[in-house]
Amino acid sequence: MHIAQLGEQRVIKALLRPWPASSRDVPVGPGDDCAMIRSRPGAAWVVTTDQLIEGTHFDWSWSTPAQLGRRAGAVTLSDIAAMGGIPRYLLVSLGLPPRTSVAVVTRFYGGLRQLLARHKVQLIGGDTAAARRFHAVMVAIGEVEPRLAVTRSGARPGDLLMVTGTLGDAIAGLRLLRRGGRARRAASARALIRRQLTPTPRLEAGRALGAHRLATAMLDLSDGLMIDVNRLCQASGAGATLLIDQLPISPSLAAYGRRTNQDPIRLALAGGEDYELLFTVRPADEVRCIRLLRRLRLPCRRIGTIDRPAADRTPSGPAVTVMTRDGRRQSLRSFIATQRLRSFEHFRAPARRGRP
Amino acid sequence: MHIAQLGEQRVIKALLRPWPASSRDVPVGPGDDCAMIRSRPGAAWVVTTDQLIEGTHFDWSWSTPAQLGRRAGAVTLSDIAAMGGIPRYLLVSLGLPPRTSVAVVTRFYGGLRQLLARHKVQLIGGDTAAARRFHAVMVAIGEVEPRLAVTRSGARPGDLLMVTGTLGDAIAGLRLLRRGGRARRAASARALIRRQLTPTPRLEAGRALGAHRLATAMLDLSDGLMIDVNRLCQASGAGATLLIDQLPISPSLAAYGRRTNQDPIRLALAGGEDYELLFTVRPADEVRCIRLLRRLRLPCRRIGTIDRPAADRTPSGPAVTVMTRDGRRQSLRSFIATQRLRSFEHFRAPARRGRP
């Protein structure tokens, strides 16, 4: 059997089975947004790794080197945000085709430096080696007080499911980039393209939700809501009901949907790379949470609730139920099937993000 | 100008220029074997990253997945050894062609796990993504007391230049692997091949040299002596005299040299991936140092001395002088030119390690 038949999640799961999930000095091991390492009493490091691979995550025909450098920093720091941590250090390893122009590499570092400077993150190391195609592999190290860190596993039945910002913009931006032509010129199209090319790590929001002990569980939306809500539920041993009509849609995405005759809700559900935060709060904390994020100028919306694990829970994750405005309920799995949604998970999907 | 014209060292140098080399909380920044981060008074983390790329560092026709996993761990922990640190945690990110068999990935992790278990290192995270060719990017985190850490920059004129183990074995092993056929069957050939496929990180030796405050500067020999001795000199602002006839040659390499009519000294000088430690000691410490390593069953030999920086020091590094048995002196640069030695630096060499 090859990787593409198994799918990324199951590959990772199978590989990590022999490794301990946590230990005394590593309270959070593989499988969360970051691993956590105790450093001294009351302090810990959070560590995460992420990669951008030519043909898989980006295409030089639609991304400049500076944009790619900025994005490399952003997607990696986003994992630190999802733990409620403060990013401090970054390492980046590049695989470079020998004929890569030096200017490409300089501009990549320029974009990365800009992003890191904004968040006061130091580049402390890296490596370059010859490769057939470009890849960048980043490692970010951040700080967190263990009692304020937010993992994926703390959601409890009754908690509310919340999300920052808007969903589906990045996938729409990607489609615009791939198609090219006149469709990209509208202001709304440019806004969607920006979401794809230069995502924003929600560092202040993630930190505030942790520091005020509001989020009971949290992750960043990298692979799309329908995959990531399952991850949160699975880690927490819970189910969820998703209020499908409550998914936050930007005016730009709504306009794109009208122009292209696509349902924005479907894009919000299946599209990846929005790098918004998906988190849970106790019902009593909903108002405090919305106010806190409003002070950070980041909208936040309730999109569902955490349930008891469903009876028809399967090995691929606890069942998530989808509820429409008219009160009809359907399992997420059958909803996906009837809507013919295709996720952006690695290996599984026949062609993902810019692969030729 | 493209990367291949500039060479890896200059690429890295140019890229890192805008970043601070060190700061209050990062006493050692980019450019050494590891970066060092202060964690609490008297304690620090050392962090390093390394990559293995299909076609650049290995070829599936001569490496099994388990060997590659073991090597991935070894080459990364070798950098921790070179700082005098104790490795604790590892993250690994894989780029996988979608048709990679699951067994390949499982065996890669199996080999890696074996190596990590031996050194009590925990795998704490990673990532997998689709790629055109296989790559593995590792990050290792270790511990060190800052006052016992050994950087590349502490060598002073008069210090002795020392090396552990034997040199040139790994490049001979690589040549045997590439050629295939009957030549591989001899016991000496198999020993050389093992040095290429499954290098040993010199963790105990590196730690002991740091803990006993014997090494004044240290690095691991990944790219070959003639490149790495220059790095040590450059970081220390010093020159060196290399006793070319003193380079430690294994009986296996001597036999290989006789069979193939190649000079083992040339292989020892130009060949990379031996992962032995190159370090400097004060003359008064030579005997203690040799005894210490003998207790660890690792031979160690004096191969030169550290000089004042030469007058003809160039931007590409302080001059290293080569001295032969009969007392003739020649700059390393002209020695390389007359011997037509070709280094294994990335990008620069027309074809490196297994590239088709």
> What are the tokens at A174?
């990607």
When CB atoms are compared, the residue of A23, A49, A346 closest to B139 is A49
- Classify domain A3-148 at the CATH topology level: 60s Ribosomal Protein L30; Chain: A; (3.30.1330)
| B160-339: CATH architecture | Alpha-Beta Complex (3.90)
- Domain assignments of chain A as residue spans, ordered by start: 3-148, 160-339
From B229's Cα to the closest Cα of chain A, the distance in A is 19
Q: Is A315 on the interface with B (CB under 8 A)?
A: no
Interface check B346 vs A, CB under 8 A: yes
In order, the DSSP letters of B261-301 are T--HHHHHHH------EEEEE-GGGHHHHHHHHHHTT--EE
The stretch A7-31 carries a mean pLDDT of: 71
**Residues of A with CB below 8 A from B125's CB?**
29-30, 34-35, 47-49
A332-354 pLDDT, tens digit each: 888 888 876 665 554 544 333 33
Query: Worst-scoring range by mean pLDDT, A168-172, A228-232, B340-344?
Result: B340-344
Q: For B133, which residue in chain A has the nearest alpha carbon?
A: A132
Smallest CA–CA distance, residue B129 to chain A, in Å, is 6
What backbone torsions phi and psi does residue A113 show, to the nearest 5 degrees?
-60, -40
Question: Using one digit for the tens of pLDDT, what is the confidence trace for A61-110?
Answer: 999 999 999 999 999 999 999 999 999 999 999 999 999 999 999 999 99
Q: Do B124 and A2 touch (CB under 8 A)?
A: no
How many residues are there in chain B?
Answer: 356
- The CA distance from B234 to B230, in Å, is 6
What interface predicted TM-score (ipTM) does this complex get? 0.88
pLDDT given at position A308: 85
Tell whether A30 is within 8 A of chain B (Cβ): yes
Give yes or no for residue A21 having a pLDDT over 70. Answer: no
The SS3 of residue A129 is strand
- What would the pLDDT profile of B220-231 be if each residue is shown by its tens digit? 999 999 999 999
Give the residue among A227, A229, A222, A261 at the shortest CA–CA distance from A243.
A229
pLDDT per residue as tens digits for the range A121-147: 999 998 899 999 999 999 999 999 999
| pLDDT at residue B350 in the model | 38
Chain A CA closest to residue B350: A98
Q: What is the mean pLDDT of chain A?
A: 89
pLDDT of residue A342: 64
Check pLDDT > 70 for residue A313: no
Is residue A11 very low, low, confident or very high in pLDDT (cuts 50, 70, 90)? low
8 Å CB contact of B137 and A137: yes
- Using CB atoms and an 8 Å cut-off, which of residues 130-149 of chain A contact chain B? 130-133, 135, 137, 139, 141
A251-255 LR contacts (CB < 8 Å, sep 24+): A251/A188, A252/A169, A252/A172, A252/A187, A252/A188, A252/A189, A252/A191, A252/A192, A253/A166, A253/A168, A253/A169, A253/A172, A253/A192, A255/A186, A255/A188
- Predicted local confidence at residue B355, as pLDDT: 27
Residue A7: closest CA among chain B residues belongs to which residue?
B98
Q: pLDDT tens for residues B307-318? A: 987 665 555 556
Pick out chain B residues at pLDDT < 70: 6-22, 310-318, 340-356
Contact A346 B130 (CB under 8 A): yes
Tell me if chain A has a CB within 8 Å of the CB of B114. no
Nearest of A336, A289, A332, A287 to residue A307 by alpha carbon: A332
- For residue B30, the chain A residues in CB contact (below 8 A) are 123-126
∠ CA B110-A228-A290 to the nearest 5 degrees?
Answer: 140
Predicted local distance difference test score (pLDDT) of residue B129: 92
pLDDT of residue A204: 98
Mean pLDDT along residues A208-235: 95
Rounded to whole angstroms, the Cα distance separating A286 from A280 reads 9
Distance (Å) from the alpha carbon of B311 to chain A's nearest alpha carbon: 31
